Structure 1
Amino acid sequence: MAKWGEGDPRWIVEERPDATNVNNWHWTEKNAGPWSKDRLKELLNDLKISQNGVDCKITELEKIEGEASANNRKGKLIFFYEWDIKLKWEGKLSGGSDVVKGEVHIPNLSEENDVSEVDMTVTIKGSGEEAQRVKAFMHNVGRNEIRTQLKEYIRSLKEEFSKGLILPKKGENSVKPDNVSTITSGFNKKINMEPVISPENKQIGCKLDTKSIEMSEKFQCRAEEFYNAMTRIEMVTAFTQGHVKLEAEKGGKFALFGGNITGEFRELVPGKKIVQYWRYKQWPDQHFSEVTFNIEEKEDHTLVTLKQVLVPASEVEQTQENWRRYYFDSIKRAFGFGAFL
């Protein structure tokens, strides 16, 4: 078997402008946070909204908290962004005597929801008929104008900021649009995750006939790379291709495959070990198994040993098959961690 860096054409540097990341095979990540803040300020600050005798303007981007990134793996772009935005605005009726001031709060701008579905709350300071009319205008017209600017931010993130993440192949001066496909992280804040264990008895699950599963799998990657594939939201999304919630810390919850798999991280040792409480949606209510991944880096591969206890006896065979199909095989396909040719 080939040793690290030997025998696989994906490791061979071909003639290209940068001589790196051949065929865009490796996972690359670009922090879009600072760029996003500047772009959102550019799009929203001093935005004028006028119609039917009402004139309003965004006067300040008071708060913008969150993060954004663009990732490339095997020619696919994966975007993650999550922003909490607060805007100050002021407006006036044509011929009116009062300047109305207020705020717009956008708590959850993320790739999980279409911009048309993003929550947006309009408030005002003060009261009176004029103030209420201007508020109604901002609610009905102003929010749509702001959504248009948010759409432009997302377009810029995907088309402008991400330039250079996917590199042209040998003999090409640019990346052909047909060679680029895009998926989003699907970070799902709407999943309601109940506590995994009862604080009263500290017992996992409920009484039923259970068995254990033990499996091992070889991956052509570093131990740290497999660990990242199981704990980084962008990478988990890439191999599951579905809605994901993930908090990679002790006690942090996760939900994968559209909420069909849920659980909690119990122990995390980077590059070495992951312990989870884990359940399949169809199992008896509140019953969780315990899954331990032991990750051991060898000379030319990484060996992952999985042990799962308290699996409902009737689900053992299907659960074992699903580990191989939806986790191990999918991870190998998504990140090129399969056997070298």
Structure 2
Amino acid sequence: MAKWGEGDPRWIVEERADATNVNNWHWTERDVSGWSSERLEQLLLGVRVEGSEGVCQLTDMSKLEGEASINNRKGKLIFFYEWQLRVGWLGTSTNGLKYRGSLEVPNLSDENDMDDLDISVSLCKDQPSTPLLDLMKRRGVPEVRQVLGNYVKQLKSEFSQGMILPKANGENQPEPAKKEQVKPKKTLISSPPSSTSTHTSSHSQSSAGVCIPTCTFTLTETFLTTADELYRTFVNQEFVQVFTRSSAVVDAQRGGKFQLLGGNVSGEFTQLVPDKKIGMRWRFRTWPSEHYAIITLEMEDRGDETELRMQCRGVPAAEEESTRGGWTRFYFQAIKQTFGY
């Protein structure tokens, strides 16, 4: 083996504090299958399209099989991913009739361009013919293609950081392409026309010491119910389980913990003013470890309706759109559809 100061420079370690993989000569690999599974499900279940035929949205993952990894060889990043996906969809016609079907992606991989991706849509066998199937093919398929493209962009930006190490002479290898935020179309995940939102950029540091850019946004929504009923809907465990259609843990007291949507969402209550205000520390499972957003829900009772004003501070900037869309769909729309508010 070469001594310090002489021999093959690929093995010289004297100028590296960690003395590993000098000049990126060795093959290194990072498994990102777990993150990919969660991210694919999050992105796909945010797809919702509307047309003259009605509304269609992806509702559940019935198949999510595959793997993903990032490899570094001689300073060159190689991305590998291969997935087979099947997602259930629910369509609601303009006259209120509901239809179920499935959307399948058999070959999401690094060997196929997004334009060449096979995406098939069908109705369940017991469902009668409906124009909603054409809506899914015409508008749903392009949206799915877009969010899958966003997954690939995030894979190549977020998880490639740190894969290429500095050289022994202290010079850095070129970083991969500039990180891009997921930007699905506003029509899919933005709040209804009555909502307003603004955001300002800032930075937040997680417990691990990683500084990440964050943002703030607001949403306004009107519910056809009283403030006390709306307040109870957010803090009562049975109510939460009903509108999320999944098990939940909700300890409605200051400092009390909550967990819902299969553990994807968790946090704690920081302020509870009955029928008026709810404060919470809130996070999504894929966010940086121990990073929470600060959520404030203020309710104004207007007799037969209640205006809800929500402020969300400290959201990772790359997660702004998905967080905004998640609250709109999995909280606001779900509550209205479930309880008729």
Q: TM-score, normalised by structure 2?
A: 0.47
Which structure has more RCO (C-alpha within 8 Å, separation ≥ 6)?
1
Q: TM-score, normalised by structure 1?
A: 0.47
